[in-house]
Every structure is written in C-alpha cells, then in structure tokens.
Chain A
Amino acid sequence: MNAWEGLAMAASLALLGWSGIWFLNRKLYREYEERRALVQILFGAVFALSCNLLQLVLFEIVPLLSPQARWLNWKLDLYCIVALLVFVLPYYHCYLVFRNKGSRRERAAIAALCFLLGFLYAFWRMGVHFPMPSPDKGFFTVAQMVSRVGVIGVSVMAVLAGFGAVDLPYSYLSLFIRDIQDSDIASLERQLMQALEMGIAKKKKRILLAQSEMRRSLLKGEAKSTSFFSRLVRTVVRSVSEDEQIHNLEVEINGLEELSRQLFLDIFELRKAKQAAIYSRTWRGHVKNIWGYALSLYCVYKMLRSLQSIVLRDTGSVDPATNAIAIFLRIFHINFNVALWSQYVSLAFVGMMIAMSLRGFLQSLMKFFSIASSGGARNSSSNVLVLFLSEIMGMYFVSSILLIRKSLASEYRSIITDALGGDIQFNFYHRWFDAIFVVSALLSILLFAVQYTSKQADDKHPVD
C-alpha cells in the first residue's frame, strides 16, 4: 500500500465528514438553536465513517484500491466507529445533559464517567440474551462490540423499515385523504380570533384591577382612618375580593391561551389535509395513488416473506443478484459469460440498495429532528438530540453492513467476515430483523387505523 492510496483514503474521509457537517447545518438545523462545534464534528465523524463502510463494500465488488489498503481501511474504520459509538458518544452525551442542567465541569465529567461505566456494563450484559461470540478471545474485541451494536442497530432498522412500509402507502393512497370544506377552516379561524380577543380583554381587565388595587393601597397608606379594627376589616375584605378576581382572571386567561393554541394546531392540520386533497386531484396525485397501491402490495409481500423466514428458519444463502440473473437467463435462453456480468449487476444492485437505504435514513432523520425539536423542546437540548441521532446513525450503518452481506455474492462476503472477526452469527441478525419488522409493521397498521378512524369521527361531528 503506497502513500497515494493513503492520501486518497484520508481525502475521501475528509470529504464525507465535511458533507456530514454541511447536511447537519443546512438541512437538520432548521431553527436557530445553540450549537457547539464538538457536537457538529462528532456528527460529521460518525457520518464519514459510516459512509466509508458502505463505500468499502462497493470497492470490494469493483476493486479500486489494493487488497491491503482495503483491509487496513476496513479494520481502521471499524475500530474508530466502534470506539466512538461505545465510548466517546455516551460519555459526551451524558456530560452535555449534566452541563445543560447547570452543573460545573468537574461534576458533570464525573457523572458522565459513572454513566459510561454503567452503560458499558449493561452493554456487556445484553449479550447474554443473544448469540454472541464467545468471550474466550477477550472482552473488548471488535467482534464482541460489533455484535452488540448490531443488535441495537438491526432493531432500529427494522422499526424504521416496518413503519416506513406502512406509512408510505398510507400517504400515497387517495383513499385516506379527507375532504375538508373551506367553511370548516373559516369557522375554526373565527373561533380562534374570538378566543384571542377575549384573552386580550381579560388581560386588560387584570391590568386595570391590579392598578386600582395599587392605588387603593397607596391611598390607604395615607388615610387617617377611624379605628384600627375597622380599617383592618376593610383592608381584608376588599383586598381578598380583588385578589380573588385577579386570580380568577388569570385562570381564565390561561385557559383561553391553551384553547387558542389548540385551535391553531387544528387549523394547521386542516390546512395540511386540504392541500393533500387538492394535490390528490391532480394527475401527479393520481400517479401517486397507483404507486401507493403497488407499494402496499409490496409491503404485504414483504411481511409474508418475513413471517415465512422466521417460522421456517430458512434464510437463503444465494444473493438476489445471482438469483435474478439465473432467472433471466432461463427465461430468455441466453448463453453468455455469467461471471463477467454478474459482477456489474451485483454492483448496481448493491449500490442501489445502499443509496436508497442511505436516502431513506437521512429523510427519517430530518423528519424526526424537525418533530422533536419543534415539539416544545428547549433550545439547549438540540445538542443532546444531535448526539443521540449520531449514535443511532452509527449503529444503523454498522448493522446495515451485517445485513448487506447476505446480498453479496459469496466471493465478496469473505472480507466482511474477516474484518469483523469471523465469529458472528449472521443468520441470527436476519431473523431478528424479520421478527422486529413484522411487529413494527403490525403496530404501524394499528396506529394508522386508530388515527384514521378518530379523524373520521371528528369530521362527522365537528366541534361547534
């Protein structure tokens, strides 16, 4: 391995890191929260190492670098990303949480260290429930940690895949689009303005009451009253009723503010639904509808296949590309050099899978981030959120390597097996993925059914 290759590797890592930071700042950070440089750097580092892993898989199929360079790259990458995921990120995450709460640096550092030790212990114990490499070869080997990280990552992948498989057809199908009348929106807007105006009137009244009370207390301070007792009684009686009035007003004001917030959110929902309804009537909407039917069929097929593989404990060992080629050849009775073509088909297939999985994950990341950070969260918690997402991203991509191995032709699988340490039960991860996928898809169907029926009920009996 020569210096040119080393330079190419470093350059590609730097480029990936920079694009990760760029993605974070331009796409994820929508609103202007407090940002720390180290958080952004960590996110970029995890992103770069993850994409590098996927890149290395492609380089196996189309050999770009020399085998030693690739081998070194695999090892280095796995070490770095596992070190980040298991040691650095949990520590810094906990440290930031404590700092946000206002502790000083030393106390936060000590607390984070304790958390890290507890986390490592729990991490190790998790291995009891799953088939893991035996601990004869040492505790902190890459294989041990990757197998545990793999469990978490595969679960995340399966949950996302299950939810996405149901969510996509649901949003595409015109069947579920509600019909919203303009008058519904207008009546809600009227109610909102009424609530706001009432709130304003009550706030004005509260100000006036507070001022008249202040005035009265001023005058009282100077008044020469008759007897001490009558003065006392007058003070107590008057001020109690005034305080009570102010208190009642404040309760009413809070109620009105809550109502106006709720009404505003309802208006927002209705407007979104109305936009969807309008879109579904265009030709693009019709195309989306058809695509939605196709996707829902595919989702059902995948669920059945997953069920079958769990129940029958059967995971095929031939990758889909070779399968596809064999079928293709059989149908068309073409006879040519399979070995030459299968490499490129395999590359295209795996490349497409990686691209789609990456894109899908980044989209979920954006959606999750925008929901989590606008749901009333404080500004300072965005750093913690980004760190959490970095951990999830790292685990996701490491486990996607475990799973993608099945889609590779057998001559390409060896590098992954060697780099990871050879003792990992790959089949287990596939079965685990299928199981969680089915559960997640079923739960999502339930969730959407409940949401749909409740919205139907709302539309039939609108709040007057």
Chain B
Amino acid sequence: MPPSMYRRAKEEALPPTGQVRVLIVGDAGVGKSSLAQLIVDGSCGKDVARTIGCTVHVKHIQHTTLANSFQDFFVELWDVSGNEWYKDCRSLFYSQINGIIFVHDLSQRKTKSSLQKWAREVASLGHFSAPLPSSGMGLVPVPFLVIGNKADIAPKAGGSSGNLVDAARHWVEKQGLLSPTDELPTSETFPGTQGLRAAAKDGELDMEAIDDFFSMLIRRRYFGEGISTYFSSTQSNIPVNSTNQMPSSSFMYNGLARSNSSSRYRL
C-alpha cells in the first residue's frame, strides 16, 4: 500500500462525495470486461464470460484537490455488451455519461475502424452530464480515452493476424492493388489522440494515465474546471453547461499540463 494511503487510512475518512460515470464501449470480444476488472481489482481472471447487457464496476478514487486535501469519489465503469444483437436495447445505459473509454483489439484491425460507429451511436443516443459545447472536437461531447487491447498477441508492425482473408487482403494492399480501407478512424472523430496500449490478460496497463483521466473527469464535474489551454485561447469565455450539480465557485482552470508532451487524451 503506498505510504500516502497508509497515512490516509489512519485518519477518519470522509464519506465519498460523489461519483462519475464512465462508459466502456467497443466491439464484442475486444476485452472490455477484462480491462474493467483490471482497472478495479488490479488483475483480471483467465476466462471472462461474455457480457450480457451491462455490468457496472465501481472503483474508489482518492482525489487530490487544489488545496492539497483529499476527497473520495467513486468511478462507475459501465461495461456495455458489444454484441450486435443487442444494439436496440443498449441505449438504456447511455445516461448521465461523464466520460467514455473506447476499446479496440490490436490484433483485429476492423475493431478500430468500427470505433467510429460506436462514437456515432453514443453521441446520438446518449445523455451526457456537462457536455462540451458542440463546437468541441470529435463527435462525443465528453472526454474520452482510446485503448488498444491484446497488445500481447498483436502482430508486429506490418504483420497480420491469423485470419487468412485479412492476411490475403493485407498482402494485396501491400502490392498496391487495393487501397487500404481499414485505416485509423478519421481525426475528426478522435482528434489527435495516440491511444493507450494494454494487455488485460497480462495485467499490462498504464494505470497512471487512467487515474489522470478519472481525476480530470472528477475535476470537470465537481470543480468546474476543464477546458484545455488551447481551446481557451480560441474562445475566451466558454459557458460550461451546468445542468448537473456544480459547486458555486465555478472557475475556469487553465492548464491541465501533463509532464510528458504528448497528451494521451482529449478534453
């Protein structure tokens, strides 16, 4: 247990003051449930059954406020089934979304291009809390994260998966006979994001980036922060839609600067 938690644990705890809701979407079989278990428990089981409907995993987060005090929050991970059959029944789960995690499979190229379809589905059917104004980037009006799972069995750059038809197609494209179709999703949908790589079965995941993402969501929701620097440079006074609870002092916080240069997620 990290020393800070040890210190904290001994003090009398404040009850958690709220929660943020994060949707995990992606095609069937990419590993959403494994990733959710990994985030919450720190390890995931060998054989995770297919999700029927939606499973909610809850994680307890300790958030450091600006005043350097600790506040506790819950993060609800809504892991929605990616099965095509349940398409019409899924819209029930898209309510009060604070953030989205898009998951794709690094060993199946098609799952990455279908993320666009998912973004459109969530954007049209979902209800978001504190959405960005519509001139924001991408299709989804809330912060999101893109994770590529199964990095342990992903083919090396230029290789192909065990799928013979995809392998043949890949070969034909390399010869220049066909234009590559399974390209990365267009940058209007997922602007500028590099995406994380993960291997849920091996426990490989950048937990720091995930925790930063959650902290940013908490800050957006409860502390009135959250449009990034370069956005505020183009629009000086952006009205933050306070449809849900916002503390009375709503101020704009400029600069969620991260130590590394490449920002791995979007606001």
A267 CB–B CB distance under 8 Å: yes
Q: Is B157 at the interface (CB under 8 A from chain A)?
A: no
Asked whether any CB of chain A lies closer than 8 Å to the CB of B29, the reply is: yes
B124 to chain A, nearest CB (A): 18
Is A31 a contact of B28 with CB atoms below 8 Å?
yes
How far is it, in angstroms, between the C-alpha of A204 and the C-alpha of B53 when the chains are bound? 21
Selecting from A21-29, A302-310, A322-330, the interface stretch reads: A21-29
B 73-92 contacts with A by CB, 8 A: 74, 76, 83-86, 88-89, 92
Residue pair A207, B58 in contact (C-beta under 8 Å): yes
Complex interface: chain B residues within 8 A of A25 (CB): 163-166
B9 touching A214, Cβ below 8 Å: yes
Q: Kindly state the separation between the CA atoms of A457 and B117 in the bound complex, as whole angstroms.
A: 39
Specify which of B10, B74, B111 is in contact with A219 (CB 8 Å cutoff): B10
Q: Is B105 among interface residues, defined by CB-CB distance under 8 A?
A: yes
Q: Which of B6, B28, B49, B53 contacts A264 (CB 8 A)?
A: B53
Residues facing B in A29-55 (CB within 8 A) are: 29-37, 40-41
Question: Is A268 an interface residue, CB under 8 A from the partner?
Answer: yes
**Nearest CB on B from A193, distance (A):** 7
The complex places the Cα of A175 from the Cα of B86 at a distance, in Å, of 26
Which residues of the partner chain B approach A295 to less than 8 Å between Cβ atoms? none
Question: Contacting A268 at CB < 8 Å: which of B9, B28, B85?
Answer: B85
The answer on a CB contact under 8 Å between A211 and B163 is no
Residues A216-263 near B (CB distance < 8 A): 218-219, 257, 260-261, 263
Chain B residue nearest to A207 in the complex (CB): B60
Count of residues in A whose CB is under 8 Å from the partner chain? 45
Residue in A21, A37, A203, A215 whose beta carbon sits within 8 Å of that of B56 in the complex: A203
Residues of A within 8 A of B6 (CB): 218
Residue of A with least CB distance to B74: A204
Contact A204 B58 (CB under 8 A): yes
Interface residue count on the B side (C-beta < 8 Å)? 42
Binding stretch for chain B, among A60-68, A373-381, A425-433, A434-442 = A373-381
Contact A36 B54, beta carbon cutoff 8 Å = no
Contact bitstring A172-195, B, C-beta under 8 A = 1, else 0: 000000000000000001001100
Residues of B within 8 A of A271 (CB): 88-89
| Residue of B with least CB distance to A201 | B58
Does any Cβ of B come within 8 Å of A385's Cβ? Answer: no
Question: Is A352 in the interface zone, CB < 8 Å from B?
Answer: no
Q: Does B162 contact A (CB under 8 A)?
A: yes
Is A196 close to B, CB under 8 A?
Answer: yes
> Are B10 and A215 in contact, with the CB atoms below 8 A?
yes
Closest to B1 in A: A214
User: How far, in whole Å, are A374 and B107 apart by their CA atoms in the complex?
Assistant: 20
A207 to B75, CA, bound (A): 12
A interface, over-half SS: helix
**B122 contacts the other chain (CB 8 A):** no
Q: How far is the CA of A373 from the CA of B57 in the complex (A)?
A: 25
Contacts of B52 in A (CB 8 A): 261, 264-265
Determine which of A37, A193, A203, A377 lies in contact with B58 in the assembled complex, contact meaning CB atoms within 8 Å: A203
Query: Which residues of chain B are within 8 angstroms of A211 by Cβ–Cβ distance?
Result: 9, 13, 60
Contacts of A36 in B (CB 8 A): 162
Confirm or deny: A200 has a beta carbon within 8 angstroms of a beta carbon on chain B: yes
B58 touches A40 (CB 8 A): no
Q: Complex: how many Å from CA A17 to CA B6? A: 63
A374 to B49, CA, bound (A): 10
- 42-85 of chain B: CB within 8 A of chain A: 47, 49-50, 52-58, 60, 74, 76, 83-85
Chain A residue numbers with a CB within 8 Å of B110 are: 32
A356-382 interface code vs B (CB 8 A; 1 in, 0 out): 000000000000000000101111000
Q: Which B residues lie within 8 Å of A215 (CB)?
A: 9-10, 13
Residues from chain A with Cβ under 8 Å of B89 in the complex: 264, 267-268, 271
B27 within 8 A of A: yes
B165 touches A374 (CB 8 A): no
* A103 CB, min distance to chain B CBs, angstroms: 16
Query: Are A204 and B16 in contact, with the CB atoms below 8 A?
Result: yes
Q: How many angstroms between the C-alpha atoms of A414 and B54 in the bound complex?
A: 60
Docked Cα-Cα span, A25 to B169, in Å, equals 12
Q: Mark B82-112, 1 if CB is under 8 A from A, else 0.
A: 0111101100100000000000010110110
Residue A153 interfacial (CB < 8 Å): no
A263→B111 CA distance, assembly (Å): 28
- Whether B145 is near chain A, meaning CB under 8 Å from some CB there, is no
Residue A171 at the chain B interface, CB threshold 8 Å: no
Per-residue interface assignment for chain B, residues 1 to 38, with 1 indicating a CB less than 8 Å from any chain A CB and 0 otherwise: 00000100110010110010000000111100000000
Interfacial chain B residues near A40, Cβ < 8 Å: 163-164
Q: How far apart are B165's CB and chain A's nearest CB, in angstroms?
A: 4
Contact A200 B58 (CB under 8 A): yes
Contact with A along B130-144 (1 / 0, CB 8 A): 000000000000000
| B161: interface (CB < 8 Å) | yes
Q: Smallest distance from the beta carbon of B9 to chain A beta carbons, Å?
A: 5
A317 within 8 A of B: no
CA distance A340 to B162 in the complex (A): 51
Taking a contact as CB atoms under 8 Å apart, the answer to whether B92 and A212 are in contact is no
Determine if A199 and B56 form an interchain contact, defined as CB atoms under 8 angstroms apart: yes
* B-chain residues with CB within 8 Å of residue A265 when the two chains form the complex: 52-53
Question: Cβ of A379 and Cβ of B162 under 8 Å apart?
Answer: no
A124-157 interface (Cβ within 8 A of B): none
Contacts A31-B83, A32-B27, A271-B88; A196 near B56 (Cβ below 8 A): yes
Q: Contacts A257-B55, A374-B50, A374-B83 hold; do A218 and B10 have CB atoms under 8 A apart? A: yes
Binding site for A on B (CB under 8 A): 6, 9-10, 13, 15-16, 19, 27-30, 47, 49-50, 52-58, 60, 74, 76, 83-86, 88-89, 92, 105, 107-108, 110-111, 161-166
Q: Which 3 A-B pairs have the closest CB atoms?
A: A264-B53, A25-B165, A32-B29
22 A-B pairs with C-beta separation under 8 A: A25-B163, A26-B165, A32-B27, A32-B107, A35-B162, A36-B162, A37-B164, A40-B163, A192-B53, A193-B92, A196-B56, A200-B58, A211-B9, A211-B13, A215-B10, A218-B6, A218-B10, A261-B53, A264-B52, A264-B53, A265-B52, A376-B50
